[in-house]
Chains A and B, each alone.
Chain A
Amino acid sequence: MNKILSVLLKDRHRLLLATIAAYIVLVVIEGVVMDRESRVYTFENPYFELQLNNIEEFQSNH
């Protein structure tokens, strides 16, 4: 544990990356456990049916 801490606290960049990584891991774990919607912003529009992950179908239909 002490060794890990000494590596993380060696310079400011490592500390920043470690802190951000810890934060993101916690947010993701909490999101999975609480079953939060993992996709919020999609291009769903009743007047415009473009889906970026299905661009071929969009091209063939139009």
Chain B
Amino acid sequence: MNSRTFERFMILLRRELWESNRLFIASPVVLAGLILVAMLWALLQIPEPMKRQAIQQMETYLQGVSPFQVMPVFMAPAIPFVIVLYVCAVIYLVNALYHDRRDSSILFWQSMPVSNLATVLSKVVTVCFLAPLFAALACGVLILFSVTAISVLAASYDSVIAGFWSLLGAGLYSILLVYLTSVLGALWLFPTIGWILLFSAYVKSLPYLWTFGAFILLLFMEDLVFGTQFLANWVESRTSNYNYIVFSVGDFFQRLLSYDMLIGVAFGAVLLVGAVNMRRFAD
């Protein structure tokens, strides 16, 4: 890839973020804002003795334990962000290749020196690598606020919870892990991304119905006609979250290079090839 192609690709990514900023930037920011307000409200409402008790329990829990050893606790606030990210990603993918055909702007984009492959790849990179970044950053603000609030509360009650810098380090590390988990989750569900993009490039109307209806129909047809459930089994194997939730950077590379991950990406790529070629039919 020469520098010019790379530059064009970066412009495509900027276009994706510009067009979908409400999905991938505003949604996690709004969610973080709502949770922050709820946390502040809770901090003000909870009576002093209960707060003191909670801090003491936390102190006991982290006695002699490094915060880095309890990363799942730090990553827990990411759950609503990951759920919102998934919902936004599905909405984005379903409309990604459908909307520009619907409003005929595909004709304009195809007149530009940008290939269909680059267009589809920009959508994939956006949903796999950029969207998780904003979700992780918004979640990170929440984690850092929690760490600061806990440290300040602990100091006001003359308690010491693992030390502020240690907590802060674990908080920052958990932001990285939330990002890596989200990226792995997207790659783990790569066949789903390929499937949705294929139908997004194909349908002329009712994209949600076609995308999910066709898959459900195929699941039933396989069982009815052949008496097998390979597709259902494939879907079931993709629902195991053990394969993409990571609690250390080492885990990330182990999961990334696992057979199941790579075969999923390869199968998703087959569907993406279909989506890229489907862009030829712009009408």
Contacts and interface: CB of A to CB of B under 8 A. Distances in A.
A24 to B, nearest CB: 7
Given A22-B274, A39-B228, 11 more contacts: A11-B281, A12-B202, A20-B214, A20-B274, A23-B270, A31-B234, A36-B230, A37-B233, A38-B228, A38-B230, A41-B229
A33 to B, nearest CB: 10
Interface bin, chain A:
20 to 34
Contacts, number: 65
Interface of B: 191, 195, 198, 202, 214, 218, 222, 228-234, 236-237, 263, 267, 270-271, 273-274, 277-278, 280-281
Nearest to B283: A12
Interface in A14-58: 15-16, 18-20, 22-24, 26-28, 30-32, 36-41
B234 A27 contact: yes
B280 A40 contact: no
A9 interface: yes
Interface SS of chain A: helix, strand, loop or mixed? helix
B231 A24 contact: yes
**10 shortest A-B CB distances, which residue pairs?**
A19-B274, A31-B230, A12-B281, A38-B228, A28-B230, A27-B234, A36-B233, A40-B229, A40-B233, A16-B202
